[in-house]
Amino acid sequence: MGKLTNRTRLVLAVSSVMFLAVLAISPFKDFRREWKQYKHSYLRFAQTRPDTKKLVADYRPDIDQIWLPGMNVVDRCTTCHYGITQASLADQSVPQPFRAHPPIPHNVRDWGCTICHRGQGPATEVAEAHKSTLAWEQPILPTRFIQASCGTCHYADLPQTPQLTRGRALLAGLNCQGCHRLPGVERPAMLAPDLTNVGTKVSREWIYKWLKEPRTIVDKDGNVTVNGYEAEDEPRMPKFRLTETELRGLSAYLSVQKAKAFVSYKLDARVVAAWTKNPELASQGELRFRQMFCSTCHSLAVTRAGETKLIGGDIGPELTKVGSKVNPDWLITWLRDPQGYLPHTRMPRYGWSDEDLFKVTRYIATKLTDPDLLTGVPQLGQPREDEIQLGRRLFLEKGCASCHVIEGLNPQKDFGPDLSAIGGKNTSELEFGASKIPHNLVSYIQAKLQDPASVNPAARMPQYNWNQPDLDAITTALLSMKGAPPTSALQNLVVPRKEVDFHPTGAFEEVYERYKCYSCHKFNGYGGDLAPDLTYEGSRAQRQWIVDFLKNPQTLRPTVVLRMPQFNMSGRDAATLADYMTMVLQHPAANPTAVDAKQFTLAMVALGKQLYEVKYQCQSCHTIGGTGGYVGPNLSNAGDWLTPAWIEAWLRNPQALVPDTIEPRRNFTADEVRALTAYLTTLRQSIKPQKTASTTAKHAATQGAGR
Amino acid sequence: MKFHVWFGALLLMTLAGAAACRKNAESAKADPLLSAYDTEADWNDAQHVVPLSFQQAQGKRIFYQQCVWCHADSTPAGPSNRSNLTPVPPLLNDRATLNAESDEYMQNIVALGGTAMGKSAMMPPYGRMLSAEEIRSVVAFTRAIAQPPYQPPARAESQYSAK
């Protein structure tokens, strides 16, 4: 070894110090790790709380992890989100990440975090855990779409997730399944009107106008909003981006669709002659229009106090200007037998007389019109053969055939992309094109829904006008569709959708189909939700009452507007329906022989009356003979309406009969149940068998407000 | 010369190491309404929107099914039943009446009804219909929309807590 110079010594000394400093970087970096900082600040935070001891009782300075091998969950979120199970940290003023998780039906330790919130569970850095990185493409789900995560397992609709339920209803209601494959959304027999004979119904000009701007009504400033008026729902027919040539072609093709020779129904000439000169023709027609409760399913624009609004139901189309749309001869034939034109329509067949038909069609053709409806539409003239051929090709290429049927035309299968796994797509699988939106799944879905051409200029998807809540609801429903059902080694996590169906047969089926009872009423889970569920109607109502009600409907609840149309039902039809209901639509818990009405004594009735009025004060919600509350049904006619067995079973446990009823389950003793049943079966109120002309007029004018 | 090379190399390594120690990621200030499970507009001031947690949102759902008919002035069906009743039931955001009651009292009057708590028999008991969890969520919703906000009574410090 040679002698070291001072200079070399200095170099060695300095480099040793430097080397030690470099060695120290690694432990220092380890000490400064993000999660350790959060752990330290949790300890400091806990010191400021009154229940410090409880908050730090289980504190460990290392990584906290929820490991659920069965579900492939390794979630280290609780390392920093340490307070999520501490009830005392629930307050909004507690800073994140220490705030407690709001109470939910699932235990966090049993399910982990990423199952619902997404993100990267094993990550130990804020950015990696929450944001999308190249190695992990599922970022945290924004909280306002969190209900999507409920939907990945709960295929059945939950009352707790209104946004998800609304989104699923929108997907089904707007016929998204016409073009896209969606899990759990079935294709009904008819999505949109069958256009096989549309040429007999409307003119070529009207078709042109409708295709150009499906919302036919434009407000006075020329602005087109949803249907021109404040309407709650998106119209089912969306706007397609069509050029002038395409509009001409499609309108030409559709206007020649007259597969079945149109046989116009000839009204009795004497009726026409007698009414044509009557000045009250239109007003009488309007009266019949109202009496038939057309507005239960159809809406009309009504101007009140300077504000125009659509009033009425949305089961059928809006009718404000229908007189300028349809051929008057077609209208008469349609009203007389809707199923003759559209076999799958939801429009019932009313028992119209020729007089009614004439009055109502004249009312529609003269009052529900708009002379300006077709302004701006060029004179199209007779369709040319090349236009028809172009229209036929476009009808298939634009996807019209996915919802609308034309006999003899075969639509392309799976016209739009399969959406059954859209909610689990990675960012790298999405085509953003030239758009400037943030590259993540939520932005992609929302941009695509708002303007399909923004992410793909060649998109065939039509244009919708969403409001923000609907846009978020439908995004939530799409995000919930993650493809293959989630599984666990321990249990099947999927809560399946309840399969419902109702296929009556025989004489009942014929009448049920003719009046389309299921458009409004539910039977065994199948049908509409506008009117009461009739699944157990046979247990609830007495046969004679059902017959009387069908012939002459009236409302039972003081606050509910009567919407049941008078079908001019024959006695035979009413008896067929009532017989089937009393025989088949029975609840297993309401045994018809359980209560013998003959055993009721006057003392029991008196006790029941006292219980009703004093002890339980049922009059807070129910009305008897003009006094009482508006919440429950009117009981004035309970003795003729309800079966004693139903009353008795209902008093014991209402939820056992109708699970979602709002009548609270009381703690009645057996004697009290019997006394109340005895009292209620004595309540009777005679109903006039037929309405007189003046009362019907008044009734229709006020839209039916009880008896 | 040699010394400068060594020194420069060490300095670079140190700087590189120090740069690798990142700062804590700043947590973004999220809008409480966007991260809320549901919202409810203040009954007296429609501009003021109250964010609701999952539990409070469940309370809101149950309230609008069961309670709204008598404890609000407008209902989904139109007219309120409130005017039919004597004594008139309190509105849900009635601070004078409801903020004075404890959570336990509120849960009891919902579960056991008016008669059991010495109030009007017109308030029916819901204890056999709603679960304890559901009743808790209704009370939580009540607290969420009370104006001015409900302040839980300060709990006395435990006599065993070390201070």
* pLDDT tens-digit readout, A222-238: 444 444 444 555 567 88
Which of B37, B84, B129 faces A630 most closely, judged by CB atoms?
B84
* pLDDT value of position A645: 92
Q: Is-cis flag, bond preceding A97, omega within 30?
A: yes
Could you report the per-residue pLDDT of A405-414, keeping only the tens digit for each? 888 888 888 8
Provide the terminal-to-terminal Cα distance of chain A, rounded to the nearest Å: 119
Which of B5, B22, B38, B81 should be substituted to probe chain A, the one whose Cβ sees the most A Cβ atoms within 10 Å?
A: B81
- Taking the C-alpha atoms of residue A14 and residue A4, their distance in angstroms, rounded to an integer, is 15
pLDDT for residue A441 is more than 60? yes
Could you report the per-residue pLDDT of A658-674, keeping only the tens digit for each? 888 889 998 899 999 99
Say yes or no: A621 contacts chain B, CB-CB below 8 A. Answer: yes
- A16: nearest CA in chain B? B10
* pLDDT value of position B162: 47
Query: What is the SS3 assignment for A113?
Result: coil
Tell me whether residue B44 is in a domain.
yes
Which of A18, A127, A666 faces B25 most closely, judged by CB atoms?
A127
- Taking the C-alpha atoms of residue B36 and residue B34, their distance in angstroms, rounded to an integer, is 6
pLDDT for residue A689 is more than 60? no
Range of the domain at B64: 38-145
pLDDT for residue A694 is more than 60? no
With CB atoms and an 8 Å threshold, state whether B81 touches A631: yes
What are phi and psi for residue A518, nearest 5 degrees? -75, -10
Which of A620, A663, A703 should be substituted to probe chain B, the one whose Cβ sees the most B Cβ atoms within 10 Å?
A: A620
- Taking the C-alpha atoms of residue A535 and residue A541, their distance in angstroms, rounded to an integer, is 12
Range name among A187-191, A641-645, B21-25 with the lowest pLDDT average: B21-25
Q: Which one has a higher pLDDT value, B110 or B152?
A: B110
Q: How confident is residue B29, by pLDDT bands cut at 50, 70 and 90? A: low
With CB atoms and an 8 Å threshold, state whether B126 touches A10: no
For the residues A14-43, what does the mean pLDDT come to?
91
Nearest CA to CA, how far is A474 from chain B (Å)? 16
Alpha-helical regions (H) of chain B: 2-20, 54-62, 68-71, 95-98, 103-116, 132-145
Positive or negative torsion for Cα A582, A587, A590, A593: positive
- A615: nearest CA in chain B? B121
Contacts of A34 in chain B (CB under 8 A): 22, 24-25
Q: How confident is residue A695, by pLDDT bands cut at 50, 70 and 90? A: very low
pLDDT for residue B65 is more than 60? yes
pLDDT for residue B9 is more than 70? no
Average pLDDT, chain B: 79
Q: Specify the residue for token string 């298939």.
A: A396
Q: Specify the residue for token string 């290429």.
A: A397
Highest mean pLDDT among A642-646, B13-17, B73-77: A642-646
Tell me whether residue B7 is in a domain.
no
Nearest CA to CA, how far is A371 from chain B (Å)? 36
Query: What is the SS3 assignment for A53?
Result: helix
- Taking the C-alpha atoms of residue A360 and residue A336, their distance in angstroms, rounded to an integer, is 11
Q: How confident is residue A185, by pLDDT bands cut at 50, 70 and 90? A: confident
Q: How confident is residue B18, by pLDDT bands cut at 50, 70 and 90? A: low
Tell me whether residue B150 is in a domain.
no
Residues in CB range of A201: below 8 A, 6 or more apart: A326, A327, A330, A334, A341
- B66: nearest CA in chain A? A662
Q: How confident is residue A282, by pLDDT bands cut at 50, 70 and 90? A: confident
- Taking the C-alpha atoms of residue A285 and residue B59, their distance in angstroms, rounded to an integer, is 48
Q: Which one has a higher pLDDT value, A121 or B10?
A: A121
> Which of A206, A190, A299 shows the shortest CA–CA distance to A250?
A206
* pLDDT value of position A2: 63
Which of B3, B14, B20 faces A11 most closely, judged by CB atoms?
B3
Contacts of B54 in chain A (CB under 8 A): 102-104, 160
With CB atoms and an 8 Å threshold, state whether A665 touches B13: no
Tell me whether residue B161 is in a domain.
no
Range name among A5-14, A602-611, B140-149 with the lowest pLDDT average: B140-149
Tell me whether residue B31 is in a domain.
no
How would you classify residue A602: left for phi > 0, otherwise alpha for psi between -120 and 50, otherwise beta? Answer: alpha
In the chain, the amino acid numbered B18 is A
- Taking the C-alpha atoms of residue A250 and residue A205, their distance in angstroms, rounded to an integer, is 11
Nearest CA to CA, how far is B44 from chain A (Å)? 22
- B4: nearest CA in chain A? A11
- Taking the C-alpha atoms of residue A477 and residue A614, their distance in angstroms, rounded to an integer, is 49
pLDDT for residue A347 is more than 60? yes
- B71: nearest CA in chain A? A631
In the chain, the amino acid numbered A178 is G
Nearest CA to CA, how far is A71 from chain B (Å)? 24
With CB atoms and an 8 Å threshold, state whether B79 touches A630: yes
pLDDT for residue A16 is more than 60? yes
Tell me whether residue B157 is in a domain.
no
Q: Specify the residue for token string 């924004």.
A: A142
Say yes or no: A31 contacts chain B, CB-CB below 8 A. Answer: no
Asked if B50 contacts B32 with a C-beta cutoff of 8 angstroms, the reply is: no
- Taking the C-alpha atoms of residue B1 and residue B10, their distance in angstroms, rounded to an integer, is 15
Tell me whether residue B18 is in a domain.
no
Q: How many domains does chain B have?
A: 1
pLDDT for residue B21 is more than 60? no
Asked if A190 contacts A201 with a C-beta cutoff of 8 angstroms, the reply is: no
Tell me whether residue B130 is in a domain.
yes
For the residues A516-543, what does the mean pLDDT come to?
89
* pLDDT value of position A13: 93
What domains appear along chain A, each with residue ranges and CATH number?
A: 198-367 (1.10.760.10), 506-681 (1.10.760.10)
With CB atoms and an 8 Å threshold, state whether B14 touches A666: no
Could you report the per-residue pLDDT of A552-565, keeping only the tens digit for each? 888 777 767 777 88
Which of A662, A669, A676, A702 should be substituted to probe chain B, the one whose Cβ sees the most B Cβ atoms within 10 Å?
A: A662
Query: What is the SS3 assignment for B126?
Result: coil
Burial of A494 (0-12, 13-18, 19+ CB in 10 A): middle
> Which of A378, A42, A61, A70 shows the shortest CA–CA distance to A204?
A378
Output the DSSP codes for A552-579: S---SSTTSPP--------HHHHHHHHH
- Taking the C-alpha atoms of residue A413 and residue A427, their distance in angstroms, rounded to an integer, is 27
- Taking the C-alpha atoms of residue A540 and residue A587, their distance in angstroms, rounded to an integer, is 8
Contacts of B161 in chain A (CB under 8 A): 50, 53
Contacts of A96 in chain B (CB under 8 A): 27
> Which of A22, B11, A16 shows the shortest CA–CA distance to A8?
A16
- Taking the C-alpha atoms of residue A183 and residue A419, their distance in angstroms, rounded to an integer, is 8
pLDDT for residue A500 is more than 50? yes
Could you report the per-residue pLDDT of A241-274, keeping only the tens digit for each? 889 999 999 999 999 888 777 778 888 888 888 8
Provide the terminal-to-terminal Cα distance of chain B, rounded to the nearest Å: 65
With CB atoms and an 8 Å threshold, state whether A620 touches B79: no
* pLDDT value of position A647: 93
Could you report the per-residue pLDDT of A147-177, keeping only the tens digit for each? 999 998 888 888 889 999 999 988 988 888 8
For the residues A586-606, what does the mean pLDDT come to?
86
Asked if A111 contacts A149 with a C-beta cutoff of 8 angstroms, the reply is: no
Q: Which one has a higher pLDDT value, A689 or A385?
A: A385
* pLDDT value of position A146: 92
Nearest CA to CA, how far is A378 from chain B (Å)? 46
With CB atoms and an 8 Å threshold, state whether B121 touches A630: no
- A142: nearest CA in chain B? B35
ipTM, two decimals: 0.78
With CB atoms and an 8 Å threshold, state whether A631 touches B69: yes
For the residues A431-437, what does the mean pLDDT come to?
85
Residues in CB range of A610: below 8 A, 6 or more apart: none
Within 10 Å of residue A598's Cβ, how many Cβ atoms? Answer: 5
Contacts of A18 in chain B (CB under 8 A): 7, 10-11, 13-14
| DSSP conformation class of A223 | -
Which of A10, A628, A662 faces B66 most closely, judged by CB atoms?
A662
Could you report the per-residue pLDDT of B48-64, keeping only the tens digit for each? 888 888 889 999 999 99
Percent of chain B past pLDDT 90, that is, above it, reads 25
Asked if A680 contacts A639 with a C-beta cutoff of 8 angstroms, the reply is: yes
For the residues A542-556, what does the mean pLDDT come to?
88
Beta bridge partners of A181: A418
Nearest CA to CA, how far is A319 from chain B (Å)? 25
Average pLDDT, chain A: 84
Could you report the per-residue pLDDT of A454-482, keeping only the tens digit for each? 888 888 888 887 888 889 999 999 999 98
Within 10 Å of residue A371's Cβ, how many Cβ atoms? Answer: 8
Query: Can you give the CATH number for the domain in which B77 is found?
Result: 1.10.760.10
For the residues A518-528, what does the mean pLDDT come to?
87
Query: What is the SS3 assignment for A246?
Result: helix
Which of B55, B78, B129 faces A102 most closely, judged by CB atoms?
B55
With CB atoms and an 8 Å threshold, state whether B85 touches A629: yes
Between CA A392 and CA A396, with CA A393 as vertex, the angle to 5 degrees is 90
Burial of A614 (0-12, 13-18, 19+ CB in 10 A): exposed
